[in-house]
Amino acid sequence: MIILKEEDREIIETSIRNIPDFPKKGIIFKDITTLLNNPKAFKTLINHLEERYKEYKLDYIAGIDARGFIFGAILADRLNIGFVPVRKKGKLPYTTVAEKYSLEYGFDEVEVHIDAFPKENARVLLIDDLIATGGTAKAATSLIKKVGANCVEACFILELDFLNGRNGIDSDVYSVIHID
């Protein structure tokens, strides 16, 4: 199993900007736009993900709306496999399957096309930029299963460990950077 080298972790981690008190007081927002516009850090991250997942025999990468699209589409291209968007409700044009998840202030839903994974028993990697409470990731792994595929791992660039978001995700979980 490939894990991130310490010097590569430092390159990636130091490229992420902290925004205090956003979106509300007391929260330190992890801004990945500074990772995306830093060619060395972004290439280091994508090279690491490619190295980690090239032996997983994946059929598809599913990226969570919207930042998971960035990492997922590039990684799918590198691995020469398909990319599937997991979208917020009402954004996909064809017949979909939906999964609700709870938020601190209500509910939201994510969807995939009913035929998102045409290969039978497809091996899928789920990817997103950050896992906090895990609601979206849990819904996305459930959707993957509902349409007949297997989520072999859920990958996140950042994990806020203190929120225990990985608990209850129905697959292995890998996070590149952990925030205590």
Residue 13 annotated among the catalytic residues of the structure: no
DSSP per-residue letters across 26-57: T-EEEETHHHHT-HHHHHHHHHHHHHHHTTS-
Task: Check if the beta carbon of residue 123 is closer than 8 Å to that of residue 59.
Answer: yes
Phi-psi region of 85 (alpha: psi -120 to 50; beta: other; left: phi over 0): beta
Whole-number Cα distances in Å, 97 to 8, 53, 112, 159:
38, 27, 6, 27
Cis omega (within 30 of 0) on the bond before 66? yes
| Set 6, 55, 104, 120: catalytic member | 104
Q: What is the DSSP letter of 9?
A: H
Nearest to 154 by CA among 134, 127, 178, 177: 127
Distance CA 100, CA 109 (A): 4
Nearest to 16 by CA among 4, 29, 28, 34: 34
| Set 67, 78, 109, 123: catalytic member | 67
Residue 104 annotated among the catalytic residues of the structure: yes
**Annotated active-site positions, please?**
67, 104
